[in-house]
Structure 1
Amino acid sequence: MSYSQDVIRIETLDLSLGEYDWGFARERSAEIAAHFEAAQKQKPALWNGRVLLMHKREIADAILRGQYFETDFANFMALRDFGFPDRSVANCFALGVLQGSDGGYVLGIMGGHTMNAGKIYFPGGTPDPSDLVGSRVDLELSVRREVQEETGLAPSDFDIDAGWHCVPGQSLIALLKPMRARETAEQLRARIMDHIASEEEPELAGAAIVRSLADLNDKMPAFVQTFFRTIYF
């Protein structure tokens, strides 16, 4: 998946949930079910819960407007694994850019039982129905919840930016929330590792620190590398 070389500043999100007849999921349902069954045999912890994907979006005047619809995780996984054949649908997700007081950034290393095993990126993920406030999709709520669940770090541990950095792609839209801690990156990493050790089935396998371009590697998705190369280094 390629991304724009630009990182866009977003000040306001206007995101809602609506009805959508997703042809990809309907027309390829048997293929999708077989694909998920095979994946679940490899990773039994995979769960076919509900997620929110975006089918309308517009960015203008530092505002992202969009409409989500609810679908099965299996449909989302197939969309990704089949190479995003339906370009009208995007995964628009929120991640917390955790920065220590010393300037270092802390990223999560995804656990082996997850869909993105071994990948290294900021904590967060695809929104789900728990991120709904009425018919509004609240990604501010999503990112704070996901960061705390994955890392054990609370929103009160950070000074949280009101806006977002957006790395836009055709099928993936990464919304990155700057979260600056009063502890160093190493201290944050140590707390995350303690949290992982206390969990029966943690989402993360570990945490990595980025201080320069030299710390980037091919386990980091394109949007992570674009973010660092464009904004900070």
Structure 2
Amino acid sequence: MTDNDSHGLDDFRDWPEEGRVFPASSANIQVLDGPHPFCLSDADEIAANWQREVTANPALFDGQMVFHRQLRVSGGAIEGEAHVVPYSAFLWWRRKADRRGGVHLFCYPVLVSADGALIAVTMGSHTANPGQVYFAAGSLEPVDIVDGRCDMEENMRREVREETGLDLLTCRSDAGFHAVRLDRTIALCKLYYFEETAEQIVASIEAHMEVAEDDEIAGAVIIRSADPSAYRYNAAMLPVIDWYFATVRT
């Protein structure tokens, strides 16, 4: 890895402090050809860890995802480069204590009901995060790449549609994004406002679960406060719900 590659990845000196939600006018991620350097440097560890992962959870699937080589903040915009990697490489990176070698950006659609609540989901028992509560979301995948760059909003629409049956094209949304950094992971957020109440949205999600082809989610939850003990939250949820209830819903 060159010095240029490491700038903005290893020290985050140009980023707002960890855990603070900040506005991001845009997100421009170029997907490069060829293997991610992390996949080459940690190939043996990735293979060994994958065997441990599938032994513990045989339902895991080693698909493909977008994993970032470096990310920068420039003039309020997030920019960077990434590669398509096997999911097994990401799982090993996530297990590492220092998480050197890469950085993970994922899209986080924040669903807001007409009565001001947030709607999240509980992940199914066979997923990589069983029982955790977070917004319907997933890592960027090859299908989200358009002309060599990641389409963030299409990723959000696809993930929400697949997991909940909801259509984000029917919602009003804020311009631009917000983002938060936690332990070399960037959650790229966008607020989507529904005309239905929280109870109506949850009923719609439950109806979708009855006909969905898989059981990726175990249910939907209504969030009406920033109480961190209300649910078994994924770590990325906590700064987002704090920010929403403190500054957005006033």
| Alignment map for 1:26-175 (pairs within 5 Å) | 26-86=40-100, 88-175=101-188
Identical-pair percentage: 30
The structure showing larger relative contact order (alpha-carbon pairs under 8 Å, at least 6 residues apart) is: 1
Task: Please state if 1:18 is matched with 2:32.
Answer: yes
Partners in 2 of 1:114 and 1:56 — Cα distance?
A: 27
Residue by residue over 1:54-112, the C-alpha shift from the partner in whole angstroms, topping out at 9 and shown as x without a partner, is: 112111322111111111100001111233531x4111000210110000100011111
Equivalence for 2:223: 210
Partners in 2 of 1:84 and 1:198 — Cα distance?
A: 41
Q: What is the CA-CA distance between 1:51 and the residue it aligns to?
A: 0.7
- Give the TM-score taking structure 2 as reference length: 0.85
Q: How many residues align?
A: 230
Change in 2 beyond 3 A, CA 1:42/1:5 = closer
Alpha-carbon contact 1:216-1:225 (below 8 Å) kept? no
**SS of aligned partner of 1:195:** helix
Partners in 1 of 2:160 and 2:97 — Cα distance?
A: 28
- Partner AA of 1:134 in structure 2: D
Q: What are structure 1's unaligned runs of at least 5 residues?
A: none
Q: What are structure 2's unaligned runs of at least 5 residues?
A: 1-16
Q: What is the CA-CA distance between 1:162 and the residue it aligns to?
A: 2.4
Alpha-carbon contact 2:35-2:85 (below 8 Å) kept? no
Alpha-carbon contact 1:97-1:105 (below 8 Å) kept? yes
- Give the TM-score taking structure 1 as reference length: 0.91
- Partner AA of 1:136 in structure 2: R
Q: What is the CA-CA distance between 1:200 and the residue it aligns to?
A: 3.5
Residue by residue over 1:152-196, the C-alpha shift from the partner in whole angstroms, topping out at 9 and shown as x without a partner, is: 001233112221110123410000110110001111111111111
